[in-house]
């Protein structure tokens, strides 16, 4: 009887596993399908794209690439600007958000709960609500049409702070910090040599989100950046799509979008191994 029960339990577990793999496979195909459509359309002519969907790549890949490079859009400078802004924003966002989370986690001071609640309240405010005041502030500081106006404000990231605070609360015991203090380590040394390595999985996850969010950001850069040489790829894509009907080339637009996605894919592949660790495991087990 016991063997029969174990056999049934094993069959039930196997069936659930098969169903789980089927569902995950379907979701994976559904997510990757649109990327496949994008890259297929990047190889087709504008007329072929207007005829409808095709699962077979076209033969116009190099022609679309040549048209994109010969066009009026500064593609390479847009790529450099996007990489610079997104990379610097991701680095500063994760570093200072982790530092803020560490301060809230490791220190006891007055108004600690009030400060934490205030940061969470700021997280609920949409960017569009504060856009006018932000634009006036940037103009008064002389940072309009400058990358600094996009990079420095990204330091204040309540969502990243909240995630890092929850991560440190669940994985960082105070005993490690107290031991480092007893050994004579300063607070910045503790943070840079102990806290950052322990929080590396969570930092990598937030770096991906921050990079992608800054990379895809169109609203704020479109308000601040005016010179063509300083514009990012999302702005250039929007300008390419808003061309006159006679000059509108769907193949060129899809090529531009595919070109803009590659850096994001590279960043994701480099940091993706930390995603599971950052969401399920901690650097320290208390």
CB proximity list for 238: less than 8 A, separation 6 or greater = 218, 222
Q: Is the sign of the CA dihedral 216, 219, 225, 228 positive or negative?
A: positive
286 lies in a domain?
A: no
Domain match, 150 and 184 both: yes
Domain match, 217 and 123 both: yes
- Which residues does the chain have with pLDDT short of 50? 246, 282-286
Domain match, 100 and 192 both: yes
pLDDT of residue 134: 85
Nearest to 199 by CA among 233, 161, 225, 227: 161
CB proximity list for 71: less than 8 A, separation 6 or greater = 240, 252
Domain match, 181 and 87 both: yes
The tokens of 115 are what?
A: 């400060």
Other beta carbons within 10 Å of 89 = 25
Domain match, 276 and 135 both: yes
CB 96 within 8 A of CB 152: no
Domain match, 20 and 151 both: no
Burial 39-64 (b: 16+ CB within 10 A, else e): bbbbbbbbebbeeeeeeeebebbeeb
pLDDT of residue 6: 58
Q: What is the Cα Rg of the chain in Å?
A: 24
The tokens of 251 are what?
A: 């193949």
Domain match, 8 and 147 both: no
pLDDT of residue 93: 94
Listed residues 62, 83, 110: the one ending a domain: 62
Domain match, 158 and 260 both: yes
Domain match, 225 and 268 both: yes
The total number of structural domains in the chain stands at: 2
Q: Per the confidence metrics, is the pTM higher than 0.85?
A: no
Domain match, 123 and 21 both: no
Other beta carbons within 10 Å of 188 = 9
pLDDT of residue 285: 43
Q: Which domain holds residue 126?
A: 65-280
């Amino acid at each position: 009887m016991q063997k029969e029960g174990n056999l049934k339990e094993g069959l039930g577990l196997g069936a659930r596993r098969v169903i789980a793999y089927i569902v995950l496979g379907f979701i994976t195909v559904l997510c990757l399908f649109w990327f496949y459509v994008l890259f297929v359309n990047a190889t087709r002519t504008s007329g072929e794209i207007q005829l409808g969907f095709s699962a077979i790549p076209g033969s116009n890949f190099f022609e679309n690439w040549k048209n994109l490079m010969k066009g009026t859009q500064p593609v390479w400078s847009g790529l450099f600007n996007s990489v610079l802004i997104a990379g610097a924003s991701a680095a500063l966002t994760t570093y200072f958000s982790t530092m803020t989370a560490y301060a809230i986690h490791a220190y006891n001071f007055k108004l600690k709960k009030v400060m934490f609640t205030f940061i969470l309240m700021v997280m609920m405010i949409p960017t569009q609500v504060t856009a006018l005041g932000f634009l006036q502030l940037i103009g008064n500081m002389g940072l309009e049409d400058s990358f600094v106006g996009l990079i420095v404000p990204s330091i204040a990231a309540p969502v990243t702070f909240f995630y890092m605070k929850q991560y440190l609360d669940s994985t960082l015991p105070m005993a490690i910090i107290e031991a480092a203090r007893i050994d004579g380590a300063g607070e910045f040394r503790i943070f840079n040599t102990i806290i950052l390595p322990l929080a590396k999985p969570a930092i990598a996850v937030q770096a991906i989100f921050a990079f992608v969010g800054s990379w895809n950001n169109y609203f704020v850069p479109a308000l601040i950046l005016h010179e063509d040489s300083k514009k990012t790829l999302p702005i250039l894509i929007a300008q390419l799509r808003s061309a006159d009907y006679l000059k509108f080339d769907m193949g060129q637009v899809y090529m531009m979008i595919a070109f803009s996605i590659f850096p994001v894919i590279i960043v994701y592949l480099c940091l993706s191994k930390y995603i599971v660790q950052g969401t399920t495991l901690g650097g320290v087990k208390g």
